[in-house]
A and B are shown apart, each in its own frame.
Chain A
């Protein structure tokens, strides 16, 4: 959720890739390109357009989360580290965000999803790793395991004396 509160929504969008939006060797910024990308990414995530000129710090928590998602998923990264990506989002936005993560994976991006929402993890993941006290204590494919088993590992049930 790394936005710059004092900058506007559009300026925060341009921070996704300042080199990409720079024109005339950096003397100007192509705001209409940034706006276009923002609109396109907003549509793909099935969101309402955010107000462009409003300082990002004035947005609600959910809208800040939306802005981060819209911005980060507007580019085509090779690796996405998604930490609780749908926290604070309503059902429809969360579904759209999950679909987009899957779409990015299908286009070749590696996605590291970090979450405690077991439903979301089983829905999205190709492989699950369970961390307990800083160590990986279990690995499985979602179809080969159950939420109960993962829950047991998460709470230390897989560690001797845990």
Chain B
């Protein structure tokens, strides 16, 4: 009992961080067993992943490049999760954001960068936001659970993007390769320091800061935390819960849309069906690991970016299939799900 009491008086965030660290130690240990079974030396494998990601400047810049969409899709999950909405649709929202961005880049190509970039960013936000808001409307009316609709609409969004890329928007000059023509230079997000780290990093960090401030400082944050803490008490306090369902789904989806905008506008420079290696799903995992905590989102996004990049290392240096890191991510999801609370 004494230890339980001591634990209770430790600050919540410290306790959560310790708990997550311990659980991850477990996941890494389990994955080490998998590596051993494949005849690899787990200590060397982990060492190679670290040295080629965190301890090399190019490797680290690529980790940051992956963190950008991951932080945004994690927020796309974390924001609705404040009021117990489970958004599994960040992947589809990312695709719709990329689709709207591409449309804007093609139709307003004549605009200068200072006008075109904010415009395509707004369109990207709108694309992801409206896509998520469909699920929000259906949930607010009590028609369809947002868990189901966001999950299923991922596939619809990906197929819609494929339709345009293989069909009307296909670049006729790139033979049979399914992609749109390249964006005009004015629609390309600037990159920094000779790396692929782009302006999306700033967008993601601003989004995280705003998320934190809104939740802790504002009237809306108070109301959101009230809905999340006791929906019946919130309803009796006169808080418009349906409106929050809609707005939080829209904002969450919009941020996933911005992740899509960053991928097409900075990284790819055009729309392709292979836009995302599952950023939306990894973002879901990050949000759950972080329990919605702002710093936790950054830390978990870093971890997941390292693991994603680590897949390439395992493939090249250890001749394992790159997707083997999916086992590690799945193990992490399992250990995280042992938490008692929902984020």
| Complex A-B: 6 CB contacts under 8 Å | A4-B233, A5-B229, A18-B219, A18-B222, A26-B219, A29-B218
Interchain CA distance A45-B134 in the complex, whole Å = 48
Task: Give chain A residues whose Cβ lies under 8 Å from the Cβ of B238.
Answer: 18
Q: A14 contacts B222, CB within 8 Å?
A: yes
Q: Of B217, B225, B228, which one neighbours A11 at CB under 8 angstroms?
A: B225
Chain B residue nearest to A16 in the complex (CB): B237
Q: Of A18, A26, A27, A28, which one neighbours B237 at CB under 8 angstroms?
A: A18
Interchain CA distance A28-B217 in the complex, whole Å = 6
Task: Give per-residue flags for A1-24: 1 if the beta carbon is below 8 A from chain B beta carbons, else 0.
Answer: 011111100010011101101100
Interchain CA distance A14-B233 in the complex, whole Å = 13
Given contacts A4-B225, A6-B225, contact A26 B220 (CB under 8 A): yes
Task: Give chain A residues whose Cβ lies under 8 Å from the Cβ of B3.
Answer: none
Q: B226 contacts A21, CB within 8 Å?
A: no
Q: B219 contacts A5, CB within 8 Å?
A: no
Interchain CA distance A16-B29 in the complex, whole Å = 49
Chain A, interface SS category: mixed
Task: Give chain B residues whose Cβ lies under 8 Å from the Cβ of A14.
Answer: 222
Q: A15 contacts B222, CB within 8 Å?
A: yes
Question: Would you call B91 an interface residue if the criterion is a C-beta within 8 Å of the partner chain's C-beta atoms?
Answer: no
Task: Give chain B residues whose Cβ lies under 8 Å from the Cβ of A15.
Answer: 222, 226, 233-234, 237
Interchain CA distance A28-B213 in the complex, whole Å = 10
Given contacts A2-B232, A18-B239, contact A7 B225 (CB under 8 A): yes
Task: Give chain B residues whose Cβ lies under 8 Å from the Cβ of A22.
Answer: 219
Task: Give chain B residues whose Cβ lies under 8 Å from the Cβ of A3.
Answer: 230, 233
B contact residues vs A (CB 8 Å cutoff): 217-220, 222-223, 225-226, 228-230, 232-234, 236-239
Task: Give chain A residues whose Cβ lies under 8 Å from the Cβ of B232.
Answer: 2
Interchain CA distance A11-B222 in the complex, whole Å = 7
Interchain CA distance A11-B228 in the complex, whole Å = 14
Interchain CA distance A14-B220 in the complex, whole Å = 12
CB distance from A20 to the nearest CB of B (A): 10
Residues of A18-75 at the interface with B, using a CB-CB cut-off of 8 Å, are 18-19, 21-22, 26-29
Chain B residue nearest to A30 in the complex (CB): B219
Interchain CA distance A3-B234 in the complex, whole Å = 9
Name which of B219, B232, B234, B236 has the most chain A CB atoms within 10 A of its CB: B219
Instruction: Across the A-B interface, give the 5 residue pairs with the lowest CB-CB distance, nearest first.
Output: A4-B229, A2-B233, A22-B219, A26-B219, A6-B229
Given contacts A2-B233, A18-B237, contact A26 B218 (CB under 8 A): yes
Chain B residue nearest to A26 in the complex (CB): B219
Task: Give chain A residues whose Cβ lies under 8 Å from the Cβ of B223.
Answer: 18
Q: Of A7, A18, A21, which one neighbours B229 at CB under 8 angstroms?
A: A7
Contacts A7-B222, A7-B229, A28-B219 supplied; 11 other A-B pairs, CB < 8 Å = A5-B230, A6-B229, A11-B222, A11-B225, A15-B222, A18-B237, A22-B219, A27-B218, A28-B217, A29-B217, A29-B219
Chain A residue nearest to B233 in the complex (CB): A2
Task: Give chain A residues whose Cβ lies under 8 Å from the Cβ of B230.
Answer: 2-5
Interchain CA distance A4-B235 in the complex, whole Å = 11
CB distance from B243 to the nearest CB of A (A): 13
Given contacts A2-B232, A3-B233, A4-B230, contact A21 B219 (CB under 8 A): yes
CB distance from B218 to the nearest CB of A (A): 6
CB distance from A2 to the nearest CB of B (A): 4
Q: B234 contacts A4, CB within 8 Å?
A: yes
Interchain CA distance A14-B223 in the complex, whole Å = 10
CB distance from B186 to the nearest CB of A (A): 34
Task: Give chain B residues whose Cβ lies under 8 Å from the Cβ of A18.
Answer: 219, 222-223, 237-239
Chain B residue nearest to A4 in the complex (CB): B229
Chain B residue nearest to A19 in the complex (CB): B219
Interchain CA distance A28-B232 in the complex, whole Å = 24
Task: Give chain B residues whose Cβ lies under 8 Å from the Cβ of A28.
Answer: 217-219
CB distance from A64 to the nearest CB of B (A): 11
Task: Give chain B residues whose Cβ lies under 8 Å from the Cβ of A5.
Answer: 229-230
